[in-house]
Amino acid sequence: MSTSNLNPHIALLPSAGMGHLTPFIRLIPLLTSHNVKITVITPHPTLSISESESLSELFTSFPQVTRKQLHLPLPPLDDEPSSKSQDPFYNRFEVIRRSSHLLSPLLSSLSPPLSALITDMSLASTVIPITNSLQLPNYIFFTSSAKMLSLFLSFHALDDPKAKDFIEISGFEPIPKSWIPLPLLDDANNAMKIYFTECGKKMKESSGILVNTYESIEGESLKAFNSLPPVIAIGPLPPIKFERNKSLAWLDDQPAESVLYVSFGSRTAISREQIKALGDGLVKSGKRFLWVVKDKKVDRDDETELVDLIGEELMERVKEKGMVVKNWLNQEEVLSHPAVGWFLSHCGWNSLTEAIWHGVPMLLWPQHGDQKINADLVERIGVGMWAKSWGWGDSVVVVKGDEIADTVREMTGNELFRLRAAQVQDDARKAFGEGGSSYDRLNDLIDSWKCSP
Ligand code: UDP
Ligand code: UDP
């Protein structure tokens, strides 16, 4: 006979970077509203200031959530430079992975005993053995698209992916090799390749894989996962409105749907030359724009003054119709602002799902990682235009201002994108609303915890 537990206790274990932390945070109100008790295990210290600020905001807004810190040994990875990556976030994944053994006593000391752990995808291979030995169900949260998940789960078993033009994964449409994250095609080992390969393999032993996606956008991919563990589409997870800051006075003064918002997410730095060409292109496009500039991958390292980065002359030209900032803006506030009409995005999965949630059409300029695979998805559903010939990875080819201006005008001049974005927004909200596919999946999952002993 099954017993019931009306207040299951779930621990969440996010990894490094806002793109990995944010979807975990968005799960919290959804779970607490079903009387789920939550403990969040936060790797400490965080790599970026934005992560530490988001966490403070989270624990202030949800005092009922318990915080446990996983203390990381720093400085990281000096012993094995061969596995180091150019990307500090992938290196931080590796440090957290190597600290996973610290979890065992932490997990078993929590009270009441846990019903399950939800673990970031980058930690699957080191955390699953621990939860297995504790006989604790472990759900992996995959923080990108279902299409990307197909690559993640299969990559370790591919035979020489570098040698082919397309990556063939049974049940899925082939993926062009040129869309594959570049570190995966390196001969040398690197932190991304290690986590991708090892976690993709080990995830099959998890209790389930949660994905921040939904059926009407990725139904084909979701159907194609037909072996265990179950892939559970629970998105698009609604953004949470925190109280923090926001100096958006400039946006308040702009006409409705007139502003192009330009941002490359939380961890993508653009070369100085490209920053200048982008600024030139935005000015030449004649559109109003709100442009967030990032010069360093990690915000803590970013000390250059805005004017030194883009130069006095460009700064003056921006003033005609634009606003450029170098600080963190709350993207949720920007995308939900009535003045914002379009989004030039680097195609991080959170950014794309947020723009879909707010019905904002996109100009897609993927930079690295999963972003080309994500861009393709958004282009197919008709909500964005992908500038396919523009730079990728550390490509040194700078896209010129004139070309950027032309493309911005072309994209923003096409009203079909806006019409389609409104339809897709509607579908997304239905998926997550009562009776929608993602709503049902999440409720089933919570019910399953309530029915477990
Ligand atoms: N974000 C933000 N303000 C910024 C930059 C990023 O609020 O100035 C948020 C954005 O809304 C998203 C997350 O940070 O939720 C970035 O995740 P995404 O997957 O889009 O890209 P990543 O930064 O991981 O490349
Ligand atoms: N501006 C900007 N980024 C900033 C500050 C200012 O792009 O960080 C531009 C923007 O176009 C704004 C204009 O400068 O509308 C005027 O800014 P503000 O009134 O704040 O100060 P000012 O530069 O005139 O002293």
Q: Which residues line ligand 1 (CB under 6 A)?
A: 17-19, 22, 263, 265-268, 292, 328-331, 348-351, 354
Using a 6 Å cutoff on CB, does residue 329 contact ligand 2? no
Band (80; pLDDT cuts 50, 70, 90): low
> Could you tell me the CA-to-CA distances from 125 to 8, 132, 376, 395 in Å, in that order?
25, 11, 29, 31
Q: Report the C-alpha gap between 146 and 211 in whole angstroms.
A: 7
Over pLDDT 90: what percentage of the chain?
A: 86
Q: Report the C-alpha gap between 449 and 214 in whole angstroms.
A: 22
Band (86; pLDDT cuts 50, 70, 90): confident
pLDDT digits (tens, 9 = 90+) for 374-420: 999 999 999 999 999 998 877 668 999 999 999 999 999 999 999 99
**What residue has token string 């925190």?**
242
For the cut 70, the answer to whether the pLDDT of residue 434 exceeds it is yes
Q: Which pLDDT value is given to residue 1?
A: 41
The protein residue whose alpha carbon is closest to atom 21 in ligand 1 is 348
Mean pLDDT, residues 326-342 taken together:
94
Q: Which pLDDT value is given to residue 85?
A: 76
Minimal CA–CA distance to 431: which of 278, 217, 280, 151? 217
Give the ipTM. Answer: 0.89
Q: Which pLDDT value is given to residue 76?
A: 55
For the cut 70, the answer to whether the pLDDT of residue 311 exceeds it is yes
Q: Do 68 and 41 contact (CB within 8 A), yes or no?
A: yes
- The two beta strands, 175-176 and 166-167, are antiparallel
Mean pLDDT of the chain: 93
pLDDT digits (tens, 9 = 90+) for 111-165: 999 999 999 999 999 999 999 999 999 999 999 999 999 999 999 999 889 999 9
| 346 annotated active-site | no
How many whole angstroms from 352 Cα to the centroid of ligand 1? 10
Pocket test for ligand 2, best of 252, 293, 304, 319 (most atoms within 8 A of CB): 319
> Of 17 and 226, which is predicted with more confidence?
17
Mean pLDDT, residues 272-277 taken together:
95
Where helices occur in 88-183 by DSSP H, the ranges are 88-98, 103-109, 124-133, 146-154
- The two beta strands, 259-263 and 288-292, are parallel
> Could you tell me the CA-to-CA distances from 427 to 169, 213, 273, 326, 452 in Å, in that order?
28, 12, 40, 34, 33
How many whole angstroms from 358 Cα to the centroid of ligand 1? 15
Q: Which pLDDT value is given to residue 368?
A: 95
Q: What are phi and psi of 9, to 5 degrees?
A: -115, 120
Band (84; pLDDT cuts 50, 70, 90): confident
For the cut 70, the answer to whether the pLDDT of residue 83 exceeds it is no
pLDDT digits (tens, 9 = 90+) for 210-261: 999 999 999 999 999 988 899 999 999 999 887 555 568 999 999 999 999 9
DSSP string, 18-75: HHHHHHHHHHHHHHHTTT-EEEEEEEES-SSHHHHHHHHHHHHH-TTSEEEEEEPPSS
Three-state helix/strand/coil letters over 9-23: EEEEECCCCHHHHHH
DSSP string, 195-261: HHHHHHHHGGGSSEEEES--HHHHHHHHHH--SSSPEEE--SPPPP--------HHHHTSPTT-EEE
User: CB within 8 A of 279, min separation 6: which ones?
Assistant: 291, 310, 314, 317, 318, 324, 401
How many whole angstroms from 427 Cα to the centroid of ligand 2? 38
| 20 annotated active-site | yes
Q: Report the C-alpha gap between 422 and 358 in whole angstroms.
A: 8
Mean pLDDT, residues 429-451 taken together:
95
How many whole angstroms from 290 Cα to the centroid of ligand 1? 15
Q: Which pLDDT value is given to residue 187?
A: 87
* Eight-state DSSP code of residue 283: H
Q: Which pLDDT value is given to residue 172?
A: 95
For the cut 90, the answer to whether the pLDDT of residue 2 exceeds it is no
pLDDT digits (tens, 9 = 90+) for 197-206: 999 999 999 9
Q: Report the C-alpha gap between 25 and 69 in whole angstroms.
A: 16
> Which strand ranges, in their side-by-side order, compose the sheet holding 138-142?
66-71, 37-44, 9-13, 116-120, 138-142, 208-211, 231-233
Over pLDDT 70: what percentage of the chain?
A: 95
